[in-house]
Structure 1
């Protein structure tokens, strides 16, 4: 899988073929087809692995972070994860050069450019609202639109920037704007913060498990393997 990932990022979707994957991995094409019917199936699996890694990261972080995962802090975390996992970023930015048709796969439950359509993130926002930890002066749909616009704007400008602005600096600036727009403007009670941490970890862990179930077929090799597809 490492080889396929590298080919997609270096050569793009069209030039990444099963023949080239097999040649680079020093295996027969039939070995690849034992696990995946098509190139798109393989790419979809790779994207799901990135999504799982993102969900696991958030779940582990929410359960151990000293500060509760309020919307500003989780927005900062998601920004850094989008840049950490390139196929997840390609899905978010609808990069058809890298992912091809996988960008539009409805089974991934993700609408490009809109982090609020990512199922666990949407559930997380609902949980914040239930715990009165989501402020703002507009309705829920307007809040989601504004949050998507902020996140997408920061991602896009960082990708286009000719400066050497660090990802952490951009993430911190995003978090501050999110705080000013959506709060929490007053620090929630300690019990509320504890609940937010626990439920955030649960939401993203459940999402990771659901995406694992979507894989459905065994994989040969792992991300750290030296001779995987």
Structure 2
């Protein structure tokens, strides 16, 4: 196969697309949405501007793909943790893993906190493109927990979901305010969040056998969510 033919294979296109996403992610984080241009991305990636447009129709499509990939990677990480330890299926344990995953990924953290300096309106656009799929998947997971006696039974699941997300986003955004709070490690913040979720929404003592019983179903739910996110990236890599 000639070099030109190799450059047009699906594998080569995928590698080139991933490289463009890597470069765009770096520039988005460093410069912010308003200051990143396709010329910047092409120059940093050492490709022609036309090559960028072969993969992505616009700057926004490329940057939305960057964020979509971050979301997919975070869900994949969560699935890995669920496979390694069925006890992670408990709401507070899953929340601790999720919180650390978000806080350790600057773009994902900007997405969850609606950081306009970094993302502009990309967060709103991403949520619009995703529809309600991610929230429905999480609510299905809550219903699974409730059906097996792993959540408090005096609140409907939709109210638990609302209260849960309010608490989660409060923890995610708290560091954006200067309150003179003493330094607390990220790991300790995750533990505090997990304790809050456990005391607010879960039964005092979860049955390990119940968590093991539903762990595979939870894995399938989150895997399907990640796969749907990956499917949104495929037009840029085929």
Structure 1 residue 213 and structure 2 residue 231: aligned?
yes
Q: Is the 8 A contact 2:142 2:157 kept in 1?
A: no
- 2:47: which partner in 1? 27
Q: Is the 8 A contact 1:73 1:175 kept in 2?
A: yes
Structure 1 residue 45 and structure 2 residue 65: aligned?
yes
SS at match of 1:67: helix
Q: Which of 108, 118, 123 pairs up with 1:98?
A: 118
Structure 1 residue 143 and structure 2 residue 160: aligned?
yes
Return the alpha-carbon distance in structure 2 between the equivalents of residues 204 and 139 of structure 1.
Answer: 22
What does the per-residue CA deviation read over 1:50-92, in whole Å, with 9 as the maximum and x for residues that have no partner?
Answer: 1111111111111111524201101111111111222222221
- 1:75: which partner in 2? 95
- Point out where structure 2 has 5 or more consecutive residues left out of the alignment: 1-20
Q: Which of 114, 122, 146 pairs up with 1:129?
A: 146
Shift of 1:102: 1.9
Q: Which of 198, 204, 214 pairs up with 1:196?
A: 214
Q: Which of 152, 156, 172 pairs up with 1:155?
A: 172
Q: Which of the two has greater helix per residue?
A: 2
Q: Quick check: 119-128 or 26-35, which moved more? A: 119-128
Bigger relative contact order, structure 1 or 2, given CA contacts below 8 A and separation 6+?
1
Return the alpha-carbon distance in structure 2 between the equivalents of residues 39 and 218 of structure 1.
Answer: 13
Return the alpha-carbon distance in structure 1 between the equivalents of residues 97 and 211 of structure 2.
Answer: 17
Q: Name the count of aligned residue pairs.
A: 214
Alpha-carbon spacing, 1:87–1:108, altered in 2? closer, same or farther (3 Å) = farther
Q: Is the 8 A contact 1:79 1:171 kept in 2?
A: yes
Q: Which runs of 4+ in 1 moved over 4 A?
A: none
SS at match of 1:128: helix
Alpha-carbon spacing, 1:158–1:200, altered in 2? closer, same or farther (3 Å) = farther
Return the alpha-carbon distance in structure 1 between the equivalents of residues 93 and 25 of structure 2.
Answer: 29
Q: Is the 8 A contact 1:3 1:25 kept in 2?
A: yes
- Point out where structure 1 has 5 or more consecutive residues left out of the alignment: 112-116, 221-229
- 1:223: which partner in 2? none
- 1:107: which partner in 2? 129
Q: Is the 8 A contact 1:135 1:183 kept in 2?
A: yes
SS at match of 1:214: helix
Bigger Rg over Cα: 2
- 1:88: which partner in 2? 108
Structure 1 residue 187 and structure 2 residue 206: aligned?
yes
Alpha-carbon spacing, 1:218–1:145, altered in 2? closer, same or farther (3 Å) = closer
Give the root-mean-square deviation of aligned CA atoms.
2.1
Alpha-carbon spacing, 1:21–1:15, altered in 2? closer, same or farther (3 Å) = same
What TM-score do the two structures reach when normalised by structure 2? 0.82
